[in-house]
Amino acid sequence: MVKYISTRGGGEAVSASEAILKGLAEDGGLFFPDHIPALPKSLKEFSEMTYQETAYEVMQPFLSDYTEEELRACIRNAYDAKFDTEAVAPLACVDGVYYLELFHGATIAFKDMALSILPHLMTTAVNKNHVKNEIVILTATSGDTGKAALAGFADVKGTKIIVFYPKNGVSPIQEKQMVTQQGNNTFVAGIHGNFDDAQNGVKKIFGDQEFGKLMADNGYQLSSANSINIGRLVPQIVYYVHAYAQLLKEGKISDGEPVNVVVPTGNFGNILAACFAKNMGLPIAKLICASNENKVLFDFFRTGVYDRNREFVLTSSPSMDILISSNLERLIYLIAGCSAKKNSDLMMQLSSSGKYQISTEMREKLQDFYGGYADEAETAKTIASVYGDCGYIIDPHTAVASCVYSKYQKETKDETKTVIASTASPYKFTRSVMKALGKEDSKKDDFALADDLHELSGVKIPEAVEGIRTAPILHDTVCEKDEMADVVKRCLGL
């Protein structure tokens, strides 16, 4: 049975359901499995499974205190008609590269893949652990997590959800998706600041013992829907296994043949899931980490120094506009030989000085990773060239990954078959996409541009966009970054 321990060494090991309920360890660390289990089936067996069947086999070893009936029910309720394709996460072959389309869920971003199941995992965990308190999901978002979490938890009994986002740091459609969210238990607030400010504010609230006592006294307890929650991370492993299995089934690769994976990366959760899949035995060769102009991760992989002391850049790929990649802590813990002391020392340095440097020994354990980045001009050029060459339209985040992969290929001449994680629908970033294609009309709003994108691509406008076109604004709270705790109190009537 897999238990979960803090990356900083505090507290006792907890079960999967307890880790999901807590979200963050009490010492500020992240929950990490006491061992990474091997894939329980052969790659050939996976190639004959549906997405839902794969999800059960991959997740069960990590969520070992859930009964088979409980876990299968969570999966059944998550991966259903909310997805507009039976395949759930189809692969599109474009110019010899396989784009793993992770945007077919309710909010047209990859966060749906995990946030469709997290509410079910959490409510099951509440019952398993006989929790009487109401669960308050407190989350910071750089654009996509917020809406996916709101949609997942809306009107879920025994929960409330409060989402903070950078007021001027998300796309107009991302913002409209959040501020029109229905549900008596949903709350949304913009902050004057960037995503890192929102994320730091949320972490501060989690770490405030006095605040925790106030919550408990009023029948509440905090949890998170960010990728720091292992209930977010574990479901993300599934689609890498399923993608490999589909390539095997279609005869695109042979059994055991390695593939590369390219992931546009901000908070490091999505690529960490691929790293976990590799550690479970999935034949992944290179883990290619693609950054935008906020290239803190590129610099880290190149130098071994993580340094957030730099200018924050607002880009056309806002979900990656992050300077503190929370999930990187799990990788640091892993390459430190699962030493909580080493990891904790580095995280203290990050907290006090904004930077840390890993040892030569730790750097040697990063050979499987390659870091690259694309600037704004390269991102736009990639959107235009992929459409011009292949008629396939990608969003800016996917374009960052595609551009970085092109650079990687030129640099290494590596011909290994490659999967690119396509993390959002182009309809979520219509202005940036249309501008890159030279088709933007500055007089039109993002919804009129969505109509133009439909004319251009022939791809149906997703309900996630169509449904909010005329929806009323239901959430208009905006606050300073040091007022976030007060906003939480107001939302909960404390």
DSSP state of 8: T
Nearest to 383 by CA among 369, 365, 403, 367: 403
Distances (CA, A) of 61 to 141, 233, 405: 29, 14, 32
Q: How far apart are CA 283 and CA 278, in angstroms?
A: 6
Q: Of 148, 149, 194, which Cα lies nearest the Cα of 168?
A: 194
d(CA 309, CA 466): 40
Q: How far apart are the first and last CA of the chain?
A: 39
Burial environment of residue 287 by CB neighbours within 10 A (0 to 12, 13 to 18, 19 or more): buried
CB 128 within 8 A of CB 17: yes
Annotated catalytic residues are: 111
- Give the 3-state secondary structure of residue 163: strand
Q: Report yes or no: 179 and 475 within 8 Å, Cβ to Cβ.
A: yes
C-alpha span between 410 and 412 (Å, rounded): 6
User: Tokens for 388?
Assistant: 């011009």
Where would I find the H helices in 209-257? 209-217, 230-249
